Amino acid sequence: MKSVSTIAVAGAGTMGQGIVQMAAMAGYSSLLYDVSNEALEKAENAIISNLDKGLAKGKVTENQKKSTLSNIRFISDLDEVKADFIIEAIIEDQSVKQELFSRLEKINDKDTILATNTSSIPITRIAAGMKYPDRIVGMHFFNPAHIMKLVEVIRGASTAPEVVETTLAVAKKMNKVPALAKDSPGFIVNRVARHFYVESLKLVEEQVADVSQTDRILRASGFKMGPFELMDLIGVDTNFSVTESMFRSFHFEPRFRPSRLQQQKVDAGHHGRKSGQGFYNYED
């Protein structure tokens, strides 16, 4: 099993912020990379806010806050993204992820592990064409990453056993509960959860129920959040791109067909909490 002391996270969005926070809290020397300095500034503020909330609840000490922040470097130069273990948390697009990994392979050691936080794209597809496909593994976190315990670890067709073992160990050190999943579209959770969203969207499109009614009914059935509340939290655009990816991966199986209603929200820029408006309004 590979020894890991440094972790880099590519992508300073909601997922990247949470992942790098957990890496730093686990004691890893951590990097957070993004092309946008504005995104990096927002990420730093979000991490500080998360830690302050933990302080207020007695779950984080002042020393833990200080050490966590001192463990993180915020960088916008890709050439500085060098680490023992790198996790990408960028757009859910296979070609974009492959381009990033291809560039990272060139500037890192051949034994650096490249983990993808994809929620739907098979790891084998992402690893195809890479110089070291045996170093590529799936490490799918759940939103919000600094709170949710589950992490899916996915072995691609070429992933080396020691890479899987190292990824499981890293997840545990980050205080996560890893679940080993086979390499198929959506893995375990998103394959099951997709219909939580898709069928709820159909209910609203067909005027069986409205958005708030659907959320109330599902909360009353035992879910912590309704589907529309959860889509707004995750990001309506992110959720839609995952559905599109799975629809293609399952060869356009009708049960995975993306919703026109959700497409309209994306086109309007109503991406949920992060944009101030989604299925609900957060601007007030």
Please identify every residue annotated as catalytic. 119, 140, 152, 190
Q: Are 130 and 102 in contact (CB under 8 A)?
A: yes
Spatial distance between the Cα atoms of 110 and 115, rounded to a whole number of angstroms: 14
Which of 104, 97, 113 has the alpha carbon at shortest distance from 7? 113
Token pair listed for 63: 């020393």
Q: To which residue do tokens 């009614």 refer?
A: 213
Token pair listed for 232: 């707004």
Spatial distance between the Cα atoms of 115 and 269, rounded to a whole number of angstroms: 29
Q: Using CB atoms within 10 A of its CB, is residue 29 exposed (0-12), middle (13-18) or buried (19+)?
A: middle
Spatial distance between the Cα atoms of 271 and 233, rounded to a whole number of angstroms: 9
- Cβ neighbours of 131 (radius 10 Å): 10
